[in-house]
Amino acid sequence: MTGFASLPPATAAESAAQTAAELQHSETGILQDIHALLSGRQFAVLTGAGLSTDSGIPDYRGPGAAPRTPMTYQEFIGEPGNRQRYWARNHIGWSHLRRADPNDGHAAVARLEQRGLLTGLITQNVDRLHEDAGSVNVVDLHGRFDQVVCLDCRRLFSRRMLASVLEELNPGFLERAQAAGVVEMAPDADATVEDAGLIESFVVARCPACAGTLKPDFVYFGENVPKDRVERSYAMVDAARALLVAGSSLTVMSGLRFARHAAKQGKAVVIINRGPTRGDNLATIKLDAGVSGALTWLAAELPAL
């Protein structure tokens, strides 16, 4: 972790002052406005891939990201070859993602909750880094990378357990993949591998309980977010007096709808994101900046409730 642990002993205010000094002057002015808007109010937080880039997990929609088309649910279900390709890449991707640590941004969000400022946290990330950083009231809107679901019996399994099953079915695969070169990592633990022969050699695991089809427990493109997660998320926004969006371009409706919902209720919508978002027209204040520094400053400076 590169966060608070690596800082020399300092009071929260001193740390915040250091962070503020690293922010651009123009950014600090907007942060002061955000501070004024959120002070004394409980708010909901919605986070996306931009929060995890400082943990080494690339944002495939962020500025400079290579265009990438994730596999849809229909493609995954429709073709055994697609599932083989998917699981081979996921096997490589998971071994990378499981080593990621939460960063200052995750620590700051956990601190906002500990200080009583949040009605809840909605994250579009599947990496579980918010929970690792100590956040408790979290909706993993798009699921969890560390779980696998059987599409036939609906049982859940740990991804860690599946990793050892896949290792046994595919001895030496990760070493050969490393030699072939993993060219890109995506935030959903999907790695791009150019070597088709390597992919075709991959043996996919079946459900240990019913021999059914296993799928990572996250929401694919073309698949709906489970209703209970959506309802919990709306409840967090309903209970809040403002919504803070951090590190999400709000490209997909699954996240954008909460910004629309808050705006419709006349609640303040604050967006902190590097680059434009699909919700910019809904924002009461928009800060175009990296999220870790801004969130660290807010977590230290906002008065506890």
Closer CB to Zn ion, 174 or 203, in the complex: 203
Closer CB to Zn ion, 153 or 239, in the complex: 153
What track of x and - describes contact with Zn ion for positions 279 through 298 (by CB under 5 A)? --------------------
Closer CB to Zn ion, 215 or 267, in the complex: 215
Closer CB to Zn ion, 158 or 178, in the complex: 158
Minimum CB–partner distance for residue 210 and Zn ion (Å): 3
The amino acid occupying position 255 is G
- The owner of tokens 């699909």 is 278
Closer CB to Zn ion, 7 or 153, in the complex: 153
Q: CA 247, CA 62: separation in Å to the nearest integer? A: 9
What track of x and - describes contact with Zn ion for positions 207 through 226 (by CB under 5 A)? x-xx-x--------------
Minimum CB–partner distance for residue 20 and Zn ion (Å): 52
Closest C-alpha among 249, 281, 282, 252 to residue 264: 282
Closer CB to Zn ion, 18 or 213, in the complex: 213
Q: CA 127, CA 80: separation in Å to the nearest integer? A: 26
Closer CB to Zn ion, 157 or 173, in the complex: 157
Of the residues 148, 150, 162, 245, which one makes contact with Zn ion according to CB under 5 A:
150
The beta strands (E) that lie in 32-72 are given as 43-47
Question: Which positions from 230 through 259 interact with Zn ion, judged by CB under 5 A?
Answer: none
46 — phi, psi (to 5°)? -120, 120
- What Rg do the C-alpha atoms of the chain give, in angstroms? 20
Q: Is 130 a catalytic residue?
A: no
**Structural contact between residues 284 and 269, judged by C-beta atoms closer than 8 angstroms:** yes
Which DSSP symbol is given to 225?
P
Question: Which one of the spans 54-62, 91-99, 112-120, 204-212 is the region binding Zn ion (CB under 5 A)?
Answer: 204-212
Percentages helix, strand, coil for the chain, rounded to the nearest 5? 45, 20, 35
**Structural contact between residues 106 and 4, judged by C-beta atoms closer than 8 angstroms:** no
Q: CA 298, CA 302: separation in Å to the nearest integer? A: 6
Q: CA 255, CA 79: separation in Å to the nearest integer? A: 29
Count Cβ atoms below 10 Å from residue 293 Cβ, excluding itself. Answer: 24
Q: CA 100, CA 185: separation in Å to the nearest integer? A: 12
Question: Which one of the spans 37-45, 147-155, 198-206, 279-287 is the region binding Zn ion (CB under 5 A)?
Answer: 147-155
Question: Which one of the spans 75-83, 202-210, 228-236, 282-290 is the region binding Zn ion (CB under 5 A)?
Answer: 202-210
Q: CA 169, CA 50: separation in Å to the nearest integer? A: 35
Question: Which one of the spans 116-124, 203-211, 229-237, 284-292 is the region binding Zn ion (CB under 5 A)?
Answer: 203-211
Minimum CB–partner distance for residue 205 and Zn ion (Å): 11
Regarding 153 and contact with Zn ion (CB under 5 A), the answer is: yes
Minimum CB–partner distance for residue 214 and Zn ion (Å): 8
Closest C-alpha among 296, 304, 298, 245 to residue 30: 298
Question: Which one of the spans 122-130, 151-159, 184-192, 274-282 is the region binding Zn ion (CB under 5 A)?
Answer: 151-159
Active-site residue identified among 91, 106, 130, 142 = 142
Count of residues touching Zn ion (by CB under 5 A):
7
User: Which residues are tagged catalytic?
Assistant: 142
Residues of this chain that interact with Zn ion (CB under 5 A) are: 150, 152-153, 207, 209-210, 212
